[in-house]
Amino acid sequence: MTSAVGPTRAYRRLSVEERKSQLLEAALTLFAHRAPEEVSLDDVAEAAGVSRPLVYRYFPGGKQQLYEAALRTAADDLEQCFAEPQDGPLTRRLGRAIDRYLAFVDQHDAGFSALLQGGSVIETSRTTAIVDGVRRSAAAHILAHMELPEPPGPRLRMTVRMWITAVEAASLIWLDEDKQPPLDELRDWLVEQFVAQIAATAGRDPQTAAVVRRALALESADGPVGELARRVLPVVAEAGHLL
């Protein structure tokens, strides 16, 4: 007499890198929806379908090491959001980069808030450096899109970094406001904020003014700058007496 035996799942031993990636993916998923201090190694082990000792085997530093590694992975993803081909109007490039950035925020909402607000009890100088590295990388990408013939001056650098700070703040407020307004509207508004900030700096800084002139030459009437001009000009039309 024979008995029917159901199919068994083929077991495949994962390489070190594959196992680490599996654990980091599980950790990122948990950190995306819960504050880091609320996630335990047992939670990560359960999410990855492994034992707690196995997590310790790959991350002997425990939760702190795992969190920093997961944060580094998330930071790498965020940095790539601003990697964009240097082709077409600057505002179009920024719009595509912001689309990717906001998609990340949307997917990792709670974890993103904990990351930027620095509210985690396991925050260290290393985690702070990782987050600051994302900001500096974003600024470097944006400045590279300006194709400057010389190194950016302090006013232009400050303007770009101020805008990145505004993007972060708007993202946190958007999460706090139940993800309103819609993502496409938020993206357009952030691009318009960039245009407004860089235009204001152009009035004081010749280098930024040259950037604005080059950028405007590539813009079209139906693009973000054209739409912004049509909305703003009627508002300031009666300000001629200030000139």
Structural domains of the chain ordered from first start: 73-231 (1.10.357.10)
Closest CA to 73 of 133, 14, 156: 133
User: Is a pLDDT exceeding 50 seen at residue 8?
Assistant: no
- How big is the chain, counted in residues? 243
Taking the mean position of all CA atoms in its chain, how far away is CA 106? Answer: 10
pTM assigned to the model: 0.80
Lowest-confidence segment of 68-72, 87-91, 116-120, 135-139 by average pLDDT: 116-120
Using CA atoms, how far apart are residues 160 and 62, in angstroms rounded to an integer? 37
| pLDDT 10s digits, 109-167 | 766 776 665 545 456 677 788 888 889 999 999 999 998 999 999 999 999 999 999 99
